[in-house]
Amino acid sequence: MIPRFRLARPATLDEAFAAFEAANGDAAYVAGGTELLQVMKMGFAQFDTLVDLKGIPELHGIEGDGGGLRIGATTTHREIERSPAVADAFPALVGLVRSVANTRVRSTGTLGGNLAFAEPHSDPATLLLASDAVLELAGPAGRRETTVSEFVVGPLSTTREPDEVLVRVRIPAAKPGEGRAYAKLAFFERPAASVAVRVTVDGGVVRSATVAVGSLTEVPELVPDAAAALVGADAGDGALNEAIAGGIATLGSLDAVEDLNGSADYKRHLAGVLFASTARAAIAEAVGHD
Ligand SMILES: Cc1cc2nc3c(=O)[nH]c(=O)nc-3n(C[C@H](O)[C@H](O)[C@H](O)COP(=O)(O)OP(=O)(O)OC[C@H]3O[C@@H](n4cnc5c(N)ncnc54)[C@H](O)[C@@H]3O)c2cc1C
């Protein structure tokens, strides 16, 4: 059973901060509740007050931003999945959210809740990390911006202050000749391993690359050595196979965490398999934009 709590339903951020403060810190923000209510039901957390963020217009919705995107924290996975703006600007994100959980969770769970909960077996943070996304936060002390790597600092652990609200995620526009791809393997409900790759291709050659892994290490991580292996490769011939093999070799030294999905060695193997397919997909998209 979920312990009893008061529910505050603010219409503005200032009202949300006031409701949080009125509970003397014995409060938590809630959006879809798909994680928080489970945690409370299992007895791992209890709060006097839950402050529902869904009635605050500033936190919700998807806007184009000069070829990039601004996605409000209370926007659900399903809304992202069905958004023409996201399909146009960032197809890899549509594919990602379509693979999250099931329709019920996607219809209720939000992007902000996913990031704020920082469950290591989750999808969005890894692609957003590789995409240089900016997270906007607001609290009683003011507003600030941060990156995924500064925000997620451990399993279920972020640099968000308890009274701070994640407002939105800003995703920069793809550069000319850029491709972005994300893939995961999941044996249970949540990802066992995932890889995101972002590349730019110019004149048929990979000019820049970013690689991030998720659900393998304690937090989503950039892997600069795997990215470096792709840079300079000819996007169209056997050199690409060689570059991908080089990238896979670098993933062998990942500090992977053993868990119910498999041993650290097995998870490093999964990273290699995902890297090969994701690098090819990102490069193919980039070649299409070259
Ligand atoms: C069966 C199941 C399968 C799942 N499978 C996947 C999967 O395959 N991939 C994946 O990525 N995820 C998966 N998830 C997780 C799912 O994506 C999250 O449950 C959802 O996105 C969380 O959003 P929420 O709005 O429900 O968060 P809530 O439960 O409302 O909140 C989660 C946490 O974030 C805080 N919070 C929420 N919003 C904000 C905000 N704007 N600012 C500050 N703090 C905030 C809350 O205080 C709480 O601590 C799964 C979940 C379930 C139940």
**What are the start-end ranges of the E strands in 15-126?**
27-30, 49-52, 62-65, 68-72
- The one-character DSSP state at 110 is B
> Residue 22 belongs to what domain range?
6-52
My answer on whether 96 and 18 are in the same domain is: no
Between the alpha carbon of residue 286 and those of residues 53, 240, 248, 283, the distances in Å are: 38, 14, 20, 5
- CB 169 near ligand 1, within 6 Å: no
Ligand 1 midpoint to CA 72 (Å):
14
Does this model's pTM top 0.85? yes
Inter-helix orientation angle 264-289/238-251, to 10°: 150
- The DSSP bridge partners found for residue 157 are 154
State both tokens at 125. Answer: 């943070």
> Domain tally for the chain?
3
Nearest-atom index, ligand 1, CA of 137: 42
Which domain CATH number covers 249?
Answer: 3.30.390.50
Residue 253 to residue 229: CA distance in whole angstroms: 14
pLDDT at 290: 67
The CATH number for 105's domain is: 3.30.465.10
Q: Looking at ligand 1, which atom is closest to the CA of residue 74? A: 41
Q: Which residue is closest in CA terms to ligand 1's atom 36?
A: 113
User: Would you give the distance in Å from CA 214 to the centre of its chain?
Assistant: 9
Q: Is the CB of 22 inside a 6 Å radius of any atom of ligand 1?
A: no
117 Cα: distance to centroid of ligand 1 (angstroms): 6
Residue 230 lies in a domain: yes
Q: Which of 142, 171, 200 is the last residue of a domain?
A: 171
Q: Is position 225 within any domain?
A: yes
Q: How far is CA 232 from the centre of its chain?
A: 28
Residues 79 and 117 in one domain: yes
Instruction: Identify whether residues 164 and 182 lie together within a single domain.
Output: no
Nearest-CA residue for ligand 1 atom 20 is 109
Question: Is the beta carbon of 54 within 6 A of some atom in ligand 1?
Answer: no
User: Does 112 sit in the ligand 1 pocket, CB within 6 Å?
Assistant: yes
| pLDDT at position 51 | 98
Q: Which atom of ligand 1 is nearest to the CA of 186?
A: 8
Verify whether ligand 1 is closer than 6 Å to residue 73 (CB atom).
yes
Beta strands in the chain (DSSP E): 6-8, 27-30, 49-52, 62-65, 68-72, 134-139, 142-147, 152-154, 157-158, 165-171, 178-185, 193-202, 205-214, 221-222
* Ligand 1 atom with minimal separation from the 39 CA: 29
> Which of left, alpha, beta for 153 (phi over 0: left; psi -120 to 50: alpha)?
alpha
236 and 276 inside one domain: yes
Q: Which of 116, 144, 171 is the last residue of a domain?
A: 171
Whether the CB-CB separation of 204 and 283 falls below 8 Å is answered with no
pLDDT along the chain (290 residues), means of 10: 94 98 96 97 96 98 95 98 97 97 96 98 98 98 98 97 98 96 95 97 96 96 98 88 96 94 96 97 89
Q: Which atom of ligand 1 is nearest to the CA of 73?
A: 41
- Domain assignment present for 245: yes
Last residue of a domain, one of 139, 171, 203: 171
The one-letter code for the residue type at 176 is P
Q: Is residue 1 part of a domain?
A: no
Structural domain includes residue 57: no
Nearest CA to ligand 1 atom 31: 113
- Same domain membership, residue 90 and residue 186: no
Q: Measured from the CB, is residue 190 less than 6 Å from ligand 1?
A: yes
List Cα–Cα distances, 202 to 199, 209, 211, 237, 290, in angstroms. 10, 12, 18, 15, 6
Does 32 fall in a domain?
A: yes
254 occurs within a structural domain: yes
Asked if 48 and 76 sit in the same domain, the reply is no
84 in the same domain as 101: yes
Please name the residues in contact with 15: beta carbons below 8 A apart, sequence gap of 6 or more.
Answer: 8
pLDDT of residue 237: 72
pLDDT score, position 266? 97
CATH code where residue 29 lies: 3.30.43
Indicate which atom in ligand 1 lies nearest the CA of residue 191.
8
With a 6 Å cutoff on the Cβ, whether 31 touches ligand 1 is yes
| 247 contacts 271 by C-beta, under 8 angstroms | no
**Whether residue 76 sits in one domain with residue 42:** no
Residue 109 placed within a domain = yes
Residues 42 and 91 occupy one common structural domain: no
Q: 49 by DSSP, 3-state: which?
A: strand
